[in-house]
Chains A and B, each alone.
Chain A
Amino acid sequence: MSGLSELLTKFSQTHGTSGYEDNVRALVVREFKKLVDEIEITPLGSVIGIRRARPSPKSSRRAETSRLLVEAHMDEIGLLVTGIEDGFVRFDEIGHFDPRVLPSQNVLVHGRKTLPGVIGSRPPHVLSAADRKKSLALRELFIDVGMSDARVRELVRVGDFITIDRNVIALQNDFVAGKAFDDRSSLVALLEFLRLVQRVNHAWDVYAVANVNEEDSATYVGALTSTFRIRPHMAICLDVTHAQQPGLHDDAAPTTGAGPCIARGANVHPRVFEKLRAAAARATLPHQITVYGGDTETNAWLMQVAGEGVPTGLVEIPLRYMHTSVETIHLADVTHTAELLGALLQTLTADDAKDLQGERFVRAESKRARAKPKRVVRTPARGKKLKRK
């Protein structure tokens, strides 16, 4: 598992919040180049890696190859510079931190230069009895980069982004802890899945997508627009979910190390859920089931309604301490997520797409209705296109 752990470390320690994904995007493109046939970047900055179908020689030819979209978001939660006071940096959040976990964190301020900083707070000695009981609000926190006011103003501007500076720690028994495992652990599972299917025949094209802008405001604009562009026949969203931990003893919550969670509920197409579960069962992969009445608070929520609507599934990696700098997962859950996706891809036949595209009923005597519907012509995709050499 060392290759996987290395890759996760690399992705976790790359810095890029929602709206500022440049560094992560560069890394994704570099990794995709080894694994896919074509790479596209959408107008908003999401990366699409296309691995064309490798049908087995026996299979019949089809006019249009079906498209399977598998995505993870590449942005992380972070902070945004709102002002500079006497050389100390004030900030707002991008996505949602619990402000109580921020004091004493190491951070990187991504200004004209990348500056290491620390989030300071008043020492306990000078606090009143009442203040000692209170936690600090976001607006009371500040970053110390150890520079004069004038020098900070030269290098840092309002609107620059800030990330937590934290290296990945290997715990015992293949547990690892670090920042941005939401959702870079899924991104690593996506890459691992692409690696697994390199020498395998599959009837569907695979569109692997690293999306921007998931963590800010829950509008999922990156996933919505990249899914619109691809018009997939089936889409799988990869994200993380809350696992059991002290203080969270929900019977329904999944356990770390017990396999990826296949989600079920209004956000998930029932046939996609069945296909995922059948694939897991056939490959005898450990898996768990999570249930959502409505909004899953993932990209899946808007991927489902992109364009004419997309049959969407959701696979989640169980994770402890979400949105902190010590998000903790079990590496086997990442591997099993990749294997589950591999198993799913291999079960997909050309007929499966028809099964998922809805139905059309025509009254027998209606001549006009019997006429064939016009074929929808796909507009050529825009944006950058990098062909594999």
Chain B
Amino acid sequence: MARKNSNREKNTAPFPAFENQARAPTTQPLTPFKRLLKRLSEAYGPSGSEEGVRELVRDEIKQLADQVRVDAFGNLIAQRRGSGSRRKKIMLSAHLDEIGVMVSFIDTRGYARFGTLGAVKPLTLLGARVQFENGAVGIIGRQAQGAARTEIDMEALFIDVSGAPTAIQVGDSACFAREFLEAGDFLIGKALGARAGCAILIETMRRLKKSPHDIFCVFTVQQQVGARGAGAAAFAIQPDVAFVLDAASASDMPGAPAQGIALGKGPAIKFQDEGALTSARAREMLLEAARQTRVPYQLDVTPRAMGDTLPIQAAREGVPTAALALPMRYLNTASEMAHSRDAQDAIELCVMLLQRPV
């Protein structure tokens, strides 16, 4: 008999040394990979409204695949046939959607109330600019709650769209409006956790010249609101093995748990995702690929974040599924931060993973 709802305590061990201080933004032109990442990061695409970012990805992936399709749920599936005699069906997935807010009520002056899409915290919303699909921009303000209040209730927040009150309707969604930034080796932007996975997947396909396997790149929708898209894709594809590309919360910050992963030390191979232990067999394939490429990697056991692992693993008769994650600071804020070397290492690892026989 299993038990739900563990009352897990927060680990508040002393923080480790704070390395890799962010340097001032560089002015050099971005590399092609970073240009792609910039476009993806700045694109609009909260859960349920992924069409814009999906088209961006489709444009990139279509020259790299034999066949590209969008399924009934909205997942983008790019397929490349392999040449091996003992080829397997390998599925790699990254999610398109980002966290956001959805308008539930607009008053006559242009103040909108909203609900949340995904793990949006009220603290990170205060003063934020949000953008709608049609380009309209709103500011998140907070109503007076009495001077003594130090906590912020989601109910006390509103979107100020008084500049263009007719531009939005009830049911419209918005995401953070924030420019992508390169600071030294660090990459900073909104939705970076989601879109870095997409960029790594696209870049992997660009660099992968030949593979013995049939490869299915899946860009899933509605991950932030309960990992709802990935299962449908896995059910249709019936892969032999699957890998999820995602972000993992780093803990190389003041006050964070001592045991954990850091930026710049390689991509993280995850042992757990929300509701799922990754499959040992698939995890072993990642480890083997990492050993062959000699890229550094980290093992991530503690954080349990929302992820596409469970619905893929649970599809049909079961799919061995593992997850490779880009270490990331400040997840689910407007300034998610990653290390560019980790992204390059992840690409190298994925290319090796797909070249090897299974």
Residues of A within 8 A of B (CB): 18-20, 42-46, 80-83, 90, 92-96, 137-139, 157-159, 182-183, 213-222, 224-226, 228-229, 239-241, 297-298, 322-323, 381-383
Contact = CB atoms under 8 A, between A and B. Distances in A.
Given A93-B6, A216-B277, A297-B3, A158 B314 contact: no
B313 A221 contact: yes
B2 interface: yes
28 contacts: A19-B280, A20-B280, A42-B318, A43-B319, A43-B320, A44-B319, A45-B279, A83-B258, A83-B259, A96-B2, A96-B3, A139-B13, A158-B259, A159-B299, A159-B301, A214-B2, A217-B276, A219-B276, A220-B2, A221-B318, A224-B318, A225-B314, A228-B317, A228-B318, A297-B4, A298-B1, A323-B3, A381-B317
Given A139-B11, A216-B276, A218-B4, 11 more contacts: A42-B317, A81-B301, A82-B301, A95-B3, A218-B3, A219-B276, A221-B276, A222-B318, A225-B314, A239-B1, A382-B317
Nearest to B274: A217
B2 A95 contact: yes
B305 to A, nearest CB: 13
A215 B275 CA distance: 11
Nearest to B309: A221
A256 to B, nearest CB: 15
B310 interface: yes
Contacts of A241: 1
A226 B1 contact: no
A157 B277 contact: no
A137 B319 CA distance: 35
B308 to A, nearest CB: 13
Contacts of A18: 277
A43 B301 contact: no
A219 B275 contact: yes
Contact of A224 (B8, B279, B299, B314): B314
A44 B280 CA distance: 9
* Most chain A Cβ neighbours within 10 Å, of B3, B9, B299: B3
Given A158-B301, A240-B1, A96 B316 contact: no
B355 interface: no
A341 B302 CA distance: 41
A336 B355 CA distance: 54
B219 interface: no
B271 interface: yes
A46 B279 CA distance: 12
Given A82-B302, A90-B259, A43 B317 contact: yes
Nearest to B310: A219
B317 A182 contact: no
Contacts of B271: 19, 80, 159
Nearest to B12: A139
Contacts of A383: 317
Closest 8 CB pairs of A and B: A225-B318, A83-B259, A19-B277, A44-B318, A229-B317, A158-B299, A218-B2, A217-B275
* Most chain B Cβ neighbours within 10 Å, of A46, A139, A241, A382: A139
Nearest to B299: A158
A226 B2 contact: no
B315 to A, nearest CB: 8
Contacts of A94: 277
Contact of A137 (B9, B258, B310, B318): B9
* Most chain A Cβ neighbours within 10 Å, of B2, B4, B277, B278: B2
Given A43-B318, A90-B259, A80 B276 contact: no
Interface string B290-334: 000000000101100000001001111111100000000000000
A26 to B, nearest CB: 14
Contacts of A217: 2, 4, 274-277
A218 B1 CA distance: 9
Nearest to A21: B280
Contacts of A229: 316-318
A44 B278 CA distance: 10
Contacts of B276: 216-217, 219, 221
A221 B13 CA distance: 33
A157 B278 CA distance: 16
Interface string B256-287: 00110000000000010011111110000000
Contacts of A213: 277
A158 B315 CA distance: 28
A62 to B, nearest CB: 25
Contacts of B275: 217-219
A59 B134 CA distance: 70
A157 B299 contact: yes
Given A93-B6, A139-B11, A157-B299, A225 B317 contact: yes
Given A43-B317, A159-B299, A221-B318, A297 B9 contact: no
Contacts of B320: 43-44
Contacts of B11: 139
B259 A82 contact: yes
A15 B275 CA distance: 22
Nearest to B239: A43
Contacts of A96: 2-3, 6
Contacts of A95: 2-3
Contacts of B302: 82, 92
A45 B280 CA distance: 10
B277 A322 contact: no
Contacts of B310: 219, 221
A112 B3 CA distance: 30
Contacts of A215: 2
Interface in B1-22: 1-4, 6, 8-9, 11, 13
Nearest to A93: B6
Nearest to B11: A139
